A and B are shown apart, each in its own frame.
Chain A
Amino acid sequence: MKLNDEQQMLQDSVARLMADKGPVSHLRELRDRNDEKGYDEPLWHAMVESGLTGILVPEEHGGIGFGLVGAGLVAREIGRNLSVTPFLSTAVLGATALAAGGSAEQQQKWLPAIAEGSVITALAVDDGAKHRPEAIKTEAKAAGDGVTLSGGKLLVLDAHVADLLLVAARQGENTALFLVDPKAQGVSIERTRMVDDRNAARVTLDNVAAEPMADGAAALAAALRAGRAVLAAELSGLAREAFERTLQYLKERKQFGRLIGTFQALQHRAALLMGEVSMSDALAMQALDACDRNADDAEVQVLAAKAKAARTALLAGQEAVQMHGGIGMTDEFDIGFFLKRARAGGETLGDANYCADRFAALRDY
């Protein structure tokens, strides 16, 4: 899988944008001032201006319809810089769900708004501590000519600043997404500070009026696939950055009268880490491309990519802290942020074990 010219240009410009406007220091600042919105607003505006919020919105709805490889390239840079944006919740999950399963009316209402950056959306799937979309407990009940939802959701990204909730609920045998107004009666949203200092919330729904989608099941499936693929790219980018920072440290830090990078025990670990990072990244890109090509094995590839990236990012985070020695344990030093995000990003939309389990099931064993 090779980037075409457009994708190459996107990669270069996004790399610059994220490094300039969304560096790790912003994450620290947002955290330290306990920012109310919890995301980097100037960065988000810059992303809107560059059209990135519409990267998965079809052109007829005001987006640029760049495809998942493009979204993955953005996510990779988000990962490298630990940029704090609602890109995943809104530009990926929201846009994909609505494009895949929204009614014409819903699409008209929400997709252009996502592209122009005037709304934030939040996908609410997990109703337990673990991602199990096959066993959703939140229930959708018929009520008059609509439906009402009851249940509790965890790890709902950007929910406390969202203008729209996309909620997974069970209706008889089917599980589908429903649209919910976060201000509707019966919705309560508790922002939960997470280890990675990103926006997440617990959402409780008590007989909340919800709007069915044209094909809420397809919307859920598409959003999960896109989200996992994009997360795989983000985690791979994160892993690469943690690795590169560590490699640099090995070339600077001296102990025993020489650079610690001369110790073979560390050299081999660095070499292994580079290999893992490269494989994770290559698989993530291949999986994104498989989605764009609608390949038969796209689902299998995405599950594999997410599993691989989740493990690799954690490995990179751990190795980074270890090879930095004592300073790696300090809050003042940035490397710990990578470890934290690796854990949270790995858990989101299915951890490595979940993805491997689904992977095995799809391969019939």
Chain B
Amino acid sequence: MSDLEQFRAETRAWLEANCPEEMRQPLKSQADHCWGGRKWQFQSEAQKVWMERMADKGWTAPQWPKEYGGGGLSPEQAEVLSEEMKRINARTPVSNFGFWMLGPALLKFGSEELKRQHLPPICRGEIRWCQGYSEPNAGSDLASLQTRAEDKGDHFLVNGQKIWTSYADKADWIFCLVRTDPNATKHNGISFALFDMESEGVSTRPIELISGESPFCETFFDDVKVDKNQIVGELNRGWDVAKYLLTHERNNIGGEPPGFLKGRALGPLAAEHVGTEHGKLADSALRADIARLEIDQMAFQALVGKIREEAEAGQGVGAQSAVLKYYGTELNKRRYEVMMDALGAEGLEWESERTMGGLYAREWLRSKGNSIEGGTSEVMLGIVSKRLLGLPDA
């Protein structure tokens, strides 16, 4: 048996023994997802046990080094773990912005001290993070951000406002872009700061979305004290960290179709609602739309596979992440449009138990944010045309 086969066998046995039955059921609502953090209320004992067991193995962050609480797995081993988890439908034990955004940035740019301070609590699901990038006047043009951090000798004093801060009211810590040199050119005076959301002077106000949910907030900083050692990377070089992190964020938004409906094939779903004639969907235009969408999705997945292979061969994902983000999110939006076409009146229900509280409509609406968050579709096309196609600036 090869090492990898051995690893698979052990992993399978361990998962069988340790993944609670309840954690092998599909998510029924947003609340079933375990976000972790100081304020987290576990939905069940099983959710808690599952997170803790996985954290003990380091498998909440399989590829991070062991010394920081990760699993120390190779990419191949991580793939095996992921396959074995899928095999039994095991849920992700815990996940939040700490894992897919801050972690990779800390590993690349953070000091040893910062890594030791912040990575293990992420792995154990103890600290939940949020992302303080966007401001009312700095969206696509992120580098024009105005939140200030003034050097007060032994600390920084942060003043300003962020907006669209996902889960700011539920998170424990924030990674935040602040201007530390107001006289430098716009990309050069930004730093990447970390601080506790319970610090004095931090307040949040939830914003309600078109989906009726309030996952994000306006976030205000009023004379917030930030330790000087909580800057990731060099002072005034935070833009490099920010960009690196965005690449990871984009891969994540683009890679997996989010939502609870991802496992449901559209053909059978449509058949339930529009019926069939001679073995084909009764609505032939809808049938054509579904086929075209599924073909485009297959093509996208083929490209994702190819880009991943190239990345593993050392070429890195780089600006290709903009391609993935663009198509991943646009296809996801299309998928929800077709789904709503297929569902008809049932898809419009906003509260019924039948629809799990209007999940279809809410997820459909939520998907519209995919092509905005983490950099808009238009911004992605701009990156592709400049960085991949070498087209000149105006």
Give Cα A277–Cα B290 distance, bound, in whole angstroms.
21
Is B291 within 8 A of A267, CB to CB?
A: no
Q: In the complex, which residue of chain B has the Cβ closest to the Cβ of A263?
A: B394
Say whether B281 faces chain A, with CB atoms less than 8 Å apart: yes
Choice from A267, A308, A360 contacting B391 with Cβ under 8 Å: A267
**Most chain A CB atoms below 10 A, which of B266, B295, B394:** B295
- With A250-B391, A258-B394, A279-B327 as known contacts, state yes or no: A301 contacts B298, CB within 8 Å: yes
Summarize B's interface: helix, strand, loop or mixed. helix
- With A272-B381, A275-B326 as known contacts, state yes or no: A283 contacts B393, CB within 8 Å: no
Q: How far is the CB of A350 from chain B (nearest CB, A)?
A: 13
Is B268 within 8 A of A365, CB to CB?
A: yes
22 intermolecular pairs with C-beta atoms under 8 Å apart:
A1-B306, A247-B391, A251-B390, A267-B389, A267-B391, A268-B381, A268-B382, A270-B385, A271-B381, A272-B381, A274-B323, A274-B388, A275-B323, A279-B327, A283-B303, A304-B298, A356-B292, A361-B280, A363-B267, A365-B270, A365-B271, A365-B276
Q: List CB contacts (< 8 Å) of B254-284 with chain A.
A: 265-268, 270-271, 276, 279-281
Residues of B with C-beta under 8 A to A66: none
Residues of A within 8 A of B (CB): 1-2, 247, 250-251, 258-259, 261-264, 267-268, 270-272, 274-275, 278-280, 282-283, 285-286, 301, 304-305, 307-308, 353, 356-357, 359-361, 363-365
Residues of A with C-beta under 8 A to B268: 364-365
Give Cα A247–Cα B386 distance, bound, in whole angstroms.
12
Is A356 within 8 A of B267, CB to CB?
A: no
Is B385 within 8 A of A365, CB to CB?
A: no
Is B299 within 8 A of A279, CB to CB?
A: yes
- With A268-B385, A271-B384, A278-B303 as known contacts, state yes or no: A359 contacts B394, CB within 8 Å: no
Is B281 within 8 A of A262, CB to CB?
A: no
Say whether B311 faces chain A, with CB atoms less than 8 Å apart: no
Is B305 within 8 A of A364, CB to CB?
A: no
Is B306 within 8 A of A359, CB to CB?
A: no
Give Cα A354–Cα B309 distance, bound, in whole angstroms.
32
Give Cα A61–Cα B96 distance, bound, in whole angstroms.
59
Residues of B within 8 A of A (CB): 265-268, 270-271, 276, 279-281, 287-288, 290-292, 294-296, 298-300, 302-303, 305-306, 309, 323, 326-327, 378, 381-382, 384-386, 388-394
Residues of A with C-beta under 8 A to B378: 268
Is B385 within 8 A of A304, CB to CB?
A: no
Q: How far is the CB of B270 from chain A (nearest CB, A)?
A: 7
Number of inter-chain CB pairs below 8 Å: 122
- With A282-B302, A365-B290 as known contacts, state yes or no: A262 contacts B389, CB within 8 Å: no
Choice from A261, A275, A357, A365 contacting B384 with Cβ under 8 Å: A275
Q: In the complex, which residue of chain B has the Cβ closest to the Cβ of A244?
A: B389
Give Cα A72–Cα B245 distance, bound, in whole angstroms.
38
Is A282 within 8 A of B385, CB to CB?
A: no
Residues of A with C-beta under 8 A to B382: 264, 267-268, 271
Give Cα A218–Cα B392 distance, bound, in whole angstroms.
53
Is B267 within 8 A of A365, CB to CB?
A: yes
- With A285-B302, A301-B298 as known contacts, state yes or no: A360 contacts B287, CB within 8 Å: yes
Is A359 within 8 A of B305, CB to CB?
A: no
Q: In the complex, which residue of chain A has the Cβ closest to the Cβ of B378?
A: A268
- With A274-B384, A274-B389, A360-B287 as known contacts, state yes or no: A279 contacts B294, CB within 8 Å: no
**Most chain B CB atoms below 10 A, which of A261, A267, A280:** A267
Known: A271-B382, A282-B306, A285-B306. 20 other contacts (CB 8 A): A251-B390, A261-B391, A262-B391, A263-B394, A267-B381, A267-B386, A267-B391, A274-B323, A274-B384, A274-B388, A275-B327, A275-B384, A279-B303, A304-B294, A307-B291, A308-B296, A353-B288, A364-B267, A365-B270, A365-B281
Q: In the complex, which residue of chain B has the Cβ closest to the Cβ of A363?
A: B267
Residues of B with C-beta under 8 A to A286: 302, 305
Q: How far is the CB of A187 from chain B (nearest CB, A)?
A: 37
Q: How far is the CB of B248 from chain A (nearest CB, A)?
A: 20
Is B306 within 8 A of A356, CB to CB?
A: no
Give Cα A285–Cα B295 distance, bound, in whole angstroms.
14
Residues of B with C-beta under 8 A to A247: 389, 391
